[in-house]
Amino acid sequence: MTDTPAVRPHVTFEVETTVPTTHGTFRMRAYRDLDTGADHVAIVSGQPTDGALVRVHSECLTGEAFGSLKCECGPQLDAALDTIHNHGGVVIYLRGHEGRGIGLINKLRAYKLQEEGLDTLDANLALGLPADAREYVAAADILRDLGIESVRLLSNNPDKRNQLTAHGIEVAELVPLVVGVGTFNESYLDTKRDRMGHQLPDHLDTGYEAS
């Protein structure tokens, strides 16, 4: 009889603490990524179990810290934190995912190419980089550490669903998160929908500017 080989973990749990924020008070659990060295955070509200509402959110310095209107990342994070505070759940904040995984400097290089007429996907490709380099195995390991094997995923991105499923997390449904739409990111969101398969409306309401 051959023993089944142990599955190598991709993260290690480091510390949990309680943090009051403008969105409410959360438990924050920090993890070290054993593949990349990045530090990730699970922001937890209530006592989530299987079927919990979960947002897997990629770090975006330009959108979250600097208020860039080229994307909707800042408003998405705010909305996700408000939602889990009100209903319970988890936001997994993945660091090292800037610019869909290409890094801050390459993201700004891609912005420059977009000023010259390329869309967000072609700008990455013109730099010799993947359209989306993100991996979600760390998020799956974090969910398992929290005792969660199935989720309602707060996302418009089917690739997140597919990757979590491939890593053993059941995704019962994608819960839409359409916020932060404005005139500066309309083309960016159109590209997400038309070329990357994101589940967004055919006609985006640009009456709201992210702030």
Indicate which residues carry an active-site annotation. 132, 134
Q: 116: number of CA atoms within 13 Å, CB side?
A: 9
CA distance 112 to 95: 23
List, in order, residues 6 or more apart from 150 with CB less than 8 Å away: 50, 51, 169, 170, 171, 172
CA-closest candidate to residue 186, choices 79, 114, 128: 114
Q: What is the DSSP secondary structure assignment for residue 4, as one 8-state letter?
A: P
List, in order, residues 6 or more apart from 201 with CB less than 8 Å away: 178
Neighbouring CB atoms inside 10 A of 79's CB total 18
Measured in degrees and rounded to the nearest 5, phi and psi for residue 173 equal: -165, 155
Q: At what angle do helices 158-166 and 137-145 cross, to 10 degrees?
A: 60
Binding site residue list for Zn(2+): 60, 71, 73
CA distance 26 to 76: 17
Binding site residue list: 55-60, 71, 73, 76, 98-100, 120, 155, 160
CA-closest candidate to residue 142, choices 134, 151, 131: 151
